Chain A
Amino acid sequence: MAAVFFSKKALTAPPTVRTLASGVPSAPLVNFAVRSPAGHGHHEHGAVGPRSDAPARWAGGVSSSPVSGLSSKTFVSAPTTGVYQQRLLSTSAVCKDAPQVPDFSDYQAKSPSTNRGLAYFMIGSLGVLTASAAKSTVTEFLATMSASADVLALAKVEVELASIPEGKNVIIKWRGKPVFIRHRTQEEINEAKSTDWKTLRDPESDESRTKKPEWLVMLGVCTHLGCVPIGEAGDYGGWFCPCHGSHYDISGRIRKGPAPLNLEVPAYDFTEGDAKLIVG
């Protein structure tokens, strides 16, 4: 017991080791948990606690028993003790200067430049997928702001053109606003075309306002303050706004009165061999 009592002097002498009858070395009464001395001159304030580099008990270690003598077991590949540390009671091999144990070469990149290329490739791929997903997210989100299908279904109005005789106006409702459709006669077309439109307040040619000269399609909202003009009235044979006296001609252009612009032409199209007009 005296040999292993940890006195102020660090233990430097090897303990008595004897050999059992079986040939196994035995070192009874050796404290394997003894900590390393902090070195010469550090007696008073040495580190407390177990050695920091000693493997934990679950990792194996050296044990002694009267039956089997000294035995050393290792359950994990523990790191080797650094060379700068003194090893006092060692029955294992001496620590080498530059040990390659454990051998990490399997885990090391075969070629650093290839490894770098791979890393950049993976990070680039991450960027590609993220950018693609982000783009889809944004576009899908923006799509939720557009009109829904039931609103879009109401946004178009079909008109049977055969039911409108020549020289007649028809007013239909489209998105809550009146739309004027006029089946113009040949004289009206001639009159609209012969007008010197460049001198008008809102210069627009009749050709740019109609897709087919016999059909004039306009929003029936006065551009002045939003009244609904009266058809076949006014000084120019077109429309007349009763609110403030704006006169529109047979092409819906402003000719007289306070309104600043011509009557607006909505988007429309002819389908089924000109039998139908679709507004919207």
Chain B
Amino acid sequence: MGVFNTFYNTIAKRNSIFVPTIFATAFAFSISFDVGVTSFWDRWNQGKQWKDIRHKYVQDSE
């Protein structure tokens, strides 16, 4: 029993489980993809963006 067999037996066997799983995964994916790309972007452009230099000009009162 491989991974794909387990996948079929637990999720894809019933359409009533398969389709909601797809939508739930899409929701989770869009968030995690956004977070992933943003973290990569921030690492790639480290020190260049406003959030990196903001602390020099703004003293947070809170």
Contacts and interface: CB of A to CB of B under 8 A. Distances in A.
Question: When A and B assemble into the complex, do they touch directly, with CB atoms less than 8 Å apart?
Answer: yes
Interface of A: 111, 113-118, 120-121, 124, 127-129, 131-132, 135-136
B5 A132 contact: no
A132 B11 contact: no
Contacts, number: 55
B11 A124 contact: yes
Contacts of B50: none
Interface in B11-43: 11-12, 18, 21-23, 25-27, 29-30, 33
B4 A118 contact: yes
Nearest to B13: A120
A117 B5 contact: yes
Contacts of B30: 132, 135-136
A135 B9 CA distance: 28
A124 B10 CA distance: 13
Given A120-B4, A129-B26, A136-B30, 5 more contacts: A117-B7, A124-B21, A131-B26, A132-B30, A135-B26
24 contacts: A113-B8, A114-B5, A117-B2, A117-B5, A117-B7, A117-B8, A117-B9, A120-B4, A120-B8, A121-B4, A121-B7, A121-B12, A124-B12, A124-B25, A128-B22, A128-B26, A129-B29, A131-B22, A131-B26, A132-B29, A132-B30, A132-B33, A135-B26, A135-B27
A124 B26 contact: no
B55 to A, nearest CB: 22
- List the 10 closest pairs (A to B, CB-CB), nearest first: A117-B4, A131-B26, A117-B8, A120-B12, A127-B22, A132-B30, A132-B26, A118-B4, A128-B26, A128-B25
Contacts of A132: 26, 29-30, 33
A127 B25 CA distance: 9
Question: Which of A114, A117, A118 has the most chain B CB atoms inside 10 A of its CB?
Answer: A117
Nearest to B30: A132
A56 to B, nearest CB: 40
A113 B11 CA distance: 14
A111 B3 CA distance: 13
Contacts of A116: 4, 8
A208 B55 CA distance: 40
Contacts of A117: 2-9, 12
A129 B32 CA distance: 12
A138 B7 CA distance: 30
Given A113-B8, A114-B4, A117-B2, A124 B22 contact: yes
